[in-house]
Amino acid sequence: MATTAFDSAQSRPAEQVDYRRLLWVAPLAAVVVAVVNAIIFALADAAGLFPDDVLLTNGQPMGLGPVVSVSIIGVVGAVLVYALIGRFSRRPIRLFTIVAAVVLVLSFASPLSIPGAGAGYIAALELLHITTAAIAVVLLTRLARKA
């Protein structure tokens, strides 16, 4: 009897989130994202991409604190979504990757709303968004999945 692509796809085990691994992967992802984004911020700030006269909604200029805290919040959100999708989806890795890509694209709008932000400022913030998403997706989907 010939095996079809459909048959072989059904015989593969469903993707599953390993919640035990998630307990250490989540903080690892948060730390890696915070450190990488802090480095990117420091380089961009040294290059003059974050001028002090461009203020955030809290009336303060962009600084290391907001970069690190928002990066960690982004990872926490990704972990919660990943865990939730893992609970209810047969293909959580695939679905999470799609959801993360959509959220990343939607996140590109927020830097555009900062009054007075120049192209370099916006590009640096977009790079921080991309870095956060890429690191979170790679670490969560590769290290926190059942083998």
Residue 77 CB neighbour total at 10 angstroms: 13
Cα–Cα distance, 77 to 97 (Å, whole number)? 14
Nearest CA to 136 out of 69, 60, 72 is that of 72
Boundaries of domain holding 23: 17-143
The answer to whether residue 34 is domain-embedded is yes
At residue 14 the predicted structure's pLDDT band, cuts being 50, 70 and 90, is low
Tell whether 8 is covered by a domain.
Answer: no
* 2 within domain boundaries: no
For residue 30, being part of any structural domain is answered with yes
Give the chain's domain count: 1
64: helix, strand or coil: helix
| Position 11 in a domain | no
pLDDT tens, residue by residue, 117-142:
999 999 999 999 999 999 999 999 99
Determine, yes or no, domain membership for 25: yes
Give 94's contacts (C-beta < 8 A, 6+ positions apart). 15
Q: What is the pTM (predicted TM-score) of this model?
A: 0.88
Has residue 6 been placed in a domain?
no
- Is residue 9 situated within a structural domain? no
